[in-house]
Amino acid sequence: MANRALPLEIVVNYWLDRPVFVTGGSGLVGQWLLKALVKEKADVVCLVRDWRPQSELFGGDLISKVSVVRGELQDQALLERILGEYEVDTVFHLAAQTIATIANRNPISTFDSNIRGTWSLLEACRRSSLVKQIVIASSDKAYGEPETVPYTEDMPMCGNYPYDVSKSCADLIAQTYANTYNLPVAISRCANFYGGGDLNWNRIVPGTIRSVIRGQRPVIRSDGTPIRDFFYVEDGIAAYMLLAQKASAWKGEAFNFSAENPQTVLSFTQEIIKMMGSNLEPEILGDAPHEIQRQYLGSAKARELLDWKPLFSQTEGLQRTVDWYKRFFK
């Protein structure tokens, strides 16, 4: 995380030579977490299902600095081998099928990855004598659609649609393993991540930036009015690393992480377009079924109990993101 200091707890050699296992290392959040852990000189192994050559994990020198295991998250025997042979101390579970539209079309593969994958990993951790701290990446989607906003951690897990339900279930399973087996699991529920390295072009940030770079009108699948949190990925990484250090003290606890700056999808898209010096008008499709109208988080618990706060403003986060994609396409 160049040019920005990490919270004090993360700085003092905490991760030096620590054996860390990361699932989902080729995804948006996973690749940023790997970079941060490598920078802190942790001993990192990651699980990857698909080879994505454009991912920063494979496209740069990052892959030479971590151990990579190819395989399925649902393969519990493989997970137990990884935890044992690499003597893993800390686990970050980020792997998931994360696209709601794909989940709507293919619910079974989403359930298999997001739900069975989570219990397979937690069961492997339960059977390991070495794992000391686990962070499970849940989501704001796990809350479903409560009547009041912002969402707070005491609200129930009430997903209605395939992706939301998969995150609700995974979240509850994580709580179960903490409460029943005293497993040192802490749960993060983050707002909508954005940042360089996201190659899912149907997401609003990478899709908008790519369109502007190509001189095309950005596409908004919804009618533009849904209200969302947008959370810069490097802020999320600092939150994950801080939470991991405190997981044993907060077994079974969930924490929301958000910039607490809710805005409409249309206004956020327009901010990106303006930042890029374009006058293109978004193309609004109004075709996003099962879209939750108001969805954003309150992060008071994380601020008060973890002494956490974002490191970047939205303007800074977006500028760093735009700069990443300009380099990528150049």
More confident residue, 103 or 58: 103
Lowest mean pLDDT among 5-14, 53-62, 153-162, 246-255: 5-14
What single letter denotes the amino acid at residue 129? S
Radius of gyration over every alpha carbon of the chain, rounded to an integer in angstroms: 19
Instruction: Give alpha helix (H) positions in 17-133.
Output: 28-39, 56-59, 76-85, 100-105, 107-111, 117-126
235 burial via Cβ count (<10 Å: 0-12, 13-18, 19+): buried
Q: Which of 137, 153, 103 is nearest to 241 (CA)?
A: 137
Measure the CA–CA gap between 53 and 60, rounded to whole angstroms: 9
Output the CA torsion sign for 109, 26, 218, 312. Answer: positive
Measure the CA–CA gap between 159 and 140, rounded to whole angstroms: 10
pLDDT attached to residue 12 = 66
Domains and CATH numbers, the chain: 10-194+231-261+296-312 (3.40.50.720)
- The one catalytic residue in 161, 163, 194, 325 is 163
* pLDDT per residue as tens digits for the range 131-175: 999 999 999 999 999 999 999 999 999 999 999 999 999 999 999
- Annotated active-site residue 14? The verdict is no
The pTM of this model reads 0.93
Lowest mean pLDDT among 53-67, 184-198, 209-223, 228-242: 53-67
Beta bridge partners of 67: 45
* pLDDT per residue as tens digits for the range 3-32: 455 554 444 689 999 999 999 999 999 999
Torsion angle of C-alpha atoms 19, 23, 29, 32, degrees rounded to 10: 30
